[in-house]
Structure 1
Amino acid sequence: MSQIRYCIGCNQGCYDYFCNSLYDPSIKPITCIRNPGLLEEATVSLSMTSHPKKVNVLRCV
């Protein structure tokens, strides 16, 4: 199974919260239904791999 969690385009936690927080600062921060670890990169200890790979990141619009 892939470790990449692809966006499903639901906008129920990212875009909606972002737009609403522009007008109401009490709204909680951005979240993601598919990736609950969003914006938690600072709390997770990441280390360099011993087997690096080259990958392509595609942006679908």
Structure 2
Amino acid sequence: MKQRWKSYGLWIAVAALVGMVLQDFGVMIPPERYDAYVDILLTIAVLGGIINNPGGNEQRN
């Protein structure tokens, strides 16, 4: 389970979900700003060591 929290796909999906929820509550974020917010969030996660890819692009069994 811990390895799943280090997945880029998971964090991108979470960012997309947050964006959808904000739109449902009436908060309008321009798409270019939303992209910038997602980039910032992922950069902070990478720098903080939350996301990493120790195995490169190798498939895991």
From the CA coordinates, give the structure whose radius of gyration is larger: 1
Answer 1 or 2: higher relative contact order, Cα 8 Å, separation at least 6.
Answer: 2
More helix by share: 2
* TM-score between the two structures when normalised by the length of structure 2: 0.30
